[in-house]
Amino acid sequence: STEYLYKHCMFLSLCNKLKTCYVFIFMLISPVIRMSLLVVFLCVGWFASAQESDIQIPDSLKTSSFEELKEQFYVYEAKDLRVAEMYAQAMLSLAKINKNPSQTHKAEHYNARVSTALGKKQIALAFIEKAFNHSRKENDSAYILKNIFLKGKIYDDFGEYTKAIEFYLQASNLVKNNLDQTKFHVISQNIARVKNQINDVRNAIEISRRNLDYFLSQDNREFDIMNCYLLLVSAYCKLAIERQHKPTLKKTYIDSSFYFMKIAHKEAVAYDDSEALTMLAVSEGINYCERNEFERALNILETTEKRATELKLHREFPLIYLFQGKSYYGLQQYEKAITFLQKAIAASKAIEIDFPYLQETFIILAKSYKAVGDIDNAITHYELFYKKKEQNELLNAENNKSLYEEYDIPSFQEQIRELQDKSDHIDTKYKYAKYFAFLLAVALLVIVFLYRKRQQQYKQRFKKLLVHINTLEQQTVAPRKAARTPKDTNKKQLRIPDEKIKEILKNLEKFEEKELFLNNNCSLNFVAKKVQTNSTYFSAILQQHKKKKFVQYITDLRIEYVLKRLKNDGVFRSYDIKSIAYEVGFNTAESFSKAFRKSTGIYPSFFIKNLDKLTNTSKN
């Protein structure tokens, strides 16, 4: 049944991914097909959405008890959240079938819990609201506390820290006077973590140190102890960053961060806590960056980035990328600094949580862009820095002062003003360039239009040419009529006997039948000898009977031959133009293409390409 659950979850995940493909598919198909398939897509989308919010419970779970389902929920919560969600839904379904209010609010709690872990904020909030109301009706004090705490965690996970603290404080007040103070300190540690996140760092440290003293006095609280250590390492690291303008104090805070880091690292290794080791490594890299040991910081952060990727610790990426960028900035490798700072901004947007160091990221980016000569981006990111400074109420005056001193912002502000003045002047020049670009675009459109029009003309000529080839092939099959002796006065001027003319014309027919015109050395004298006359007589007879000069006569024969052979010989069509030209008597590809174009109105390459298309279509 576990294998079935896993496959079922994979199917639901596929349905969910398919929904994101609909827009892309609609862009590829024609409007008529798009409209005709609209109803189908809507139905499939609705089905996938319905599956996401109301999972089909497999028959194999319907015979399990509530406690058995809950036990399996705990197992899969740590292994596979999609399967855990299945068990949570099964619990809720069973509770409703049994009409058991106590089971119902517990099942709603577990659904809220797994929905949070899966990133489904609105679904999680809906479940926790129901769970809280139902647990109050049942007067289940244990789950009332769990639901208030979980609601705080939901807001915490999605970056709504003010609401998170509100519910954490409610949960804290419920257990404040309990004899068992463990719950109080667990909740208190979450409050400390949120305070650290919103830069109320001193309070975070004070609360966390009290919690650490308590957990160290208890048995089997390794997880809570590690949380305290991680917070203290991070908090002292933050204080060091804020005290850039006070080197002595900054060093003290970095030393404090390293002190707790050393203890925490030993504990994390002992319990093989990969996540804790990765988070400690992030802080270690930051500390070395703040010590201006940039190469060492980069080595640590590069390794940490790979570990964070493997463990899917997405919240760590903004910090990792920022301090990689900051280290490259310190090494004056501005292009690399820009790359990682942009990644830090993108990573903070991806997790949809306000990144407390965005203001610093913007100012480093602005200075890096200025260093590489990208004036527009320098101005843009300075404006983002200034806008963030005005909006960000979480940054205290101490931190602002630190930023202004570390990055010499007053001086940089003056440089930005000068750059803006230059940029305005350049904009005026580029205005005319834009007009020119517009005219160029119009010209390109005209060229494209004319090109397409010419292609249409070529296609029409191609069709007419096919008809002409068919006519030529029929003439080849039909018996030739005997040449008639001309009755006009030109015969007297030629002074060639009628019998001689007939003989020459008959020999000329044999010349054409043997395809001797394909000879590369097919000159006037060469052909005259073949028809057993001299060049003067032959030239005169050609003009009289073929209405052509010699060169035109030979060229037309060759073009007619190549048209028929290209149409019927697929192998011949596969030759390159140069080989085809030589095969039919031309010495160069250019002379062949020019003659073909003059005779047919299209180029040989276009003719061959369309013949291939026509042949493939016929085969299909």
- Report which DSSP code applies to 542: I
Across the chain, mean pLDDT equals 82
Contact 132, 147 (CB under 8 A): yes
Contact 319, 281 (CB under 8 A): no
**Alpha helices by DSSP H, 351-408:** 358-371, 375-391, 397-406
Residue 417 has pLDDT above 80, yes or no: no
Least confident of 195-199, 410-414, 509-513: 410-414
Residue closest to 77 by CA, chosen among 110, 107, 102, 106: 110
Mean pLDDT value across residues 456-477 = 79
Residue 89 has pLDDT above 90, yes or no: yes
Token digits for 291? 């010590």
Residue closest to 164 by CA, chosen among 190, 146, 135, 137: 190
The alpha-carbon radius of gyration of the chain (Å, integer) is 42
Least confident of 184-188, 470-474, 576-580: 470-474
Find how far residue 568's CA is from the centre of its chain. Answer: 47
pLDDT of residue 227: 93
Residue closest to 167 by CA, chosen among 187, 182, 143: 187
Neighbours of 113 (CB within 10 A): 23
Half-sphere exposure of 180 (CA within 13 A, CB side): 4
Cα 489 from Cα 17, distance rounded (Å): 87
pLDDT tens digits, 142-177: 999 999 999 999 998 888 888 999 999 999 998 888
Neighbours of 505 (CB within 10 A): 17
Residue 228 has pLDDT above 90, yes or no: yes
- Report which DSSP code applies to 522: -
pTM flag (> 0.75)? no
Per the model's pLDDT, the better-predicted residue between 204 and 396 turns out to be 204
Confidence of residue 295 (pLDDT cuts 50, 70, 90): very high
pLDDT tens digits, 373-391: 898 888 888 888 877 666 5
pLDDT tens digits, 8-20: 444 544 544 444 4
Token digits for 310? 């493997």
